[in-house]
Amino acid sequence: MDEISGIKKPELQALPRVGDRITFLYVEHAKVNRQDGAITVTDSRGIIRIPAAIVGVLLFGPGTDVTHRAMELIGDMGTSVVWTGERGVRHYAHGRALSHNTKLLIKQAELVSNVRTRISVARKMYQMRFENEDVSNLTMQQLRGREGARVRSIYRKESKATGVPWTGREYDPNDFAGGNPINQALSAAHTALYGLVYSVIVALGLSPGLGFVHTGHDLSFVYDIADLYKAEITIPIAFKIASKSDVENIGRETRLAVRDAFVDGKIMEKITRDLYNIMGEGEQEVIADLINLWDDKEGLVEHGVSYEEFS
């Protein structure tokens, strides 16, 4: 029981599944607080109430103040939090996972730690982008080459369709405004996608840092998974926004367009299914608070039991 508000902390099984949640909300220059079972956001325009349990990820931008009580509710409801830079670009920190179970995390660590299985998973992810081709015998170098050609072709196609000039992906993470409109739009769109993908990854108990294609970064797996959806979602949106002549805040307009594309929740369901498929596991509900002790001979044994007589 919550001693201050009188609200009982919900069981994980009672919370909305990750695939059933609203994708993301971006907040900046506002005060985030709590009123009963809802998050309140206050800025110069007034106050809005947000049921925390139905949001997949909250993106907190510059000028956002969050109370301890708000973070307590957000954590209890299994909502992911990502602290971002200006206009939602750059990732500074993130909050806790929805799942307390490590089954998928252990599977991910096993797959990424073996060269043969790591290549197999990487090929599976590339196969998802080349549905009508067999990539099972291609090397990682060949796969990277094919993917590079595919992405360049997508950029050229969108440039021709929208009339937006394309000279290449050029941007400075520390200077959003220094990029041209299309690169600004791409940065904003991709960051929104990264936040969403991150929230699903950690909600299922997977590690955002254990990537199969990308490596060496604490968001490597996020980049792996996000790359599966850029061609159909964020790249077309970015070119569409960049083609408009009356956009005052391209970062904001792009985020809104990405949010509109996510609004039906299908992308979260797809990411969830794809992650289970990539891990070679059937989709399942999040299991809460399952704790065992590891034994080198018996595998898993019950925790909370005195084993003194066996010592």
DSSP E strand boundaries for the chain:
22-27, 30-35, 38-43, 46-50, 55-60, 64-66, 80-84, 91-94, 292-295, 299-302
Question: Which pair of structure tokens corresponds to residue 106?
Answer: 């252990």
- Consult the annotation and say whether 227 binds a ligand: yes
Question: Which pair of structure tokens corresponds to residue 291?
Answer: 């704790």
Residues 207, 111: Cα–Cα separation, whole Å: 12
List C-alpha distances in Å: 296 to 293, 299, 300: 10, 6, 9
Residue 107 burial (10 A CB sphere; 0-12, 13-18, 19+): middle
- Consult the annotation and say whether 269 binds a ligand: no
Residues 70, 72: Cα–Cα separation, whole Å: 5
- Consult the annotation and say whether 147 binds a ligand: yes
- Within 8 A by CB and 6+ apart from 79, the residues are 52, 53, 55, 56, 57, 58, 95
Task: Give me the residues paired with residue 38 across strands.
Answer: 35
Residues 213, 221: Cα–Cα separation, whole Å: 8
Residues 188, 227: Cα–Cα separation, whole Å: 15
Residues 27, 250: Cα–Cα separation, whole Å: 16
Q: Are 74 and 52 in contact (CB under 8 A)?
A: yes
Binding residue positions for Mn(2+):
147, 214, 227
Binding residues: 147, 214, 227
